[in-house]
Amino acid sequence: KQKQLPAAAEAARAVLAIDANNADAWSRLGAVLGKQGDAVAAREAFQQATKAAPEQWRLHFNLGLMLRDAGDYDAALREFQAAASCDPSQTGPWELSAAMLRRASRKEEALLADLRALQTAPKDWTLCSMVAVQLSQAGLLVVAVEHATRATELGPNEPKAWSRLAEILLDMPIVDGPRALQAARRADELAKGADARGTWLLARAEGANG
């Protein structure tokens, strides 16, 4: 915490000299090495941590972050999924699993991971709104509207929640023009006209209402 990284690494190695299977020491060493810019050694340390305590979700999650940052997305996905399996109540592993799955064009699996993430944090408006977008892109528009509406209830003063609701309503086969316009106006009002995309959605909504 005092930014004395060489001393911190030395302390972690001193622990490991006594107990080579100390997962916490491996994890701390990995964190220090990462801060020192030695990504390869940091990754190896995190891998040792997961081997020492494979049941700890945080260790898999940290290794997943390291792998993602290194561009090894398949390996990162495996670690995020392992973290989710260790503790399904954690939001982060599900969210990042979804992100990796979307990157691999595994959209259905990604959507399921998004929904699992939302189960762990049902009052998170950001997550609820993002899930609404994914549902919309999957063609599940009715359920998407439900989630987008819920997001505005959870974040009533968040312009992005309202603009996403407006956009999904405008993409419905039968457009609910008045409701879309109401949502778009609310988004523009909250953004004080400073969001270009929100202004564009407002124009779309006005057009939909003649």
**pLDDT tens figures, 5-45:** 999 999 999 999 999 999 999 999 999 998 898 889 999 99
Residue 13 pLDDT = 96
193 has a pLDDT exceeding 90: no
1 has a pLDDT exceeding 90: no
Q: Report d(CA 75, CA 85) in Å as an integer.
A: 15
**CB-count burial class (<10 Å; 0-12, 13-18, 19+) for 11:** middle
**DSSP single-letter state for residue 171:** T
Q: What are phi and psi of 56, to 5 degrees?
A: -90, 115
Residue 145 pLDDT = 97
Q: How crowded is residue 158: how many other Cβ atoms within 10 Å of its Cβ? A: 18
Confidence of residue 140 (pLDDT cuts 50, 70, 90): very high
**DSSP single-letter state for residue 173:** S
203 has a pLDDT exceeding 90: yes
Q: Report d(CA 27, CA 48) in Å as an integer.
A: 8
49 has a pLDDT exceeding 90: yes
**pTM to 2 decimal places:** 0.86
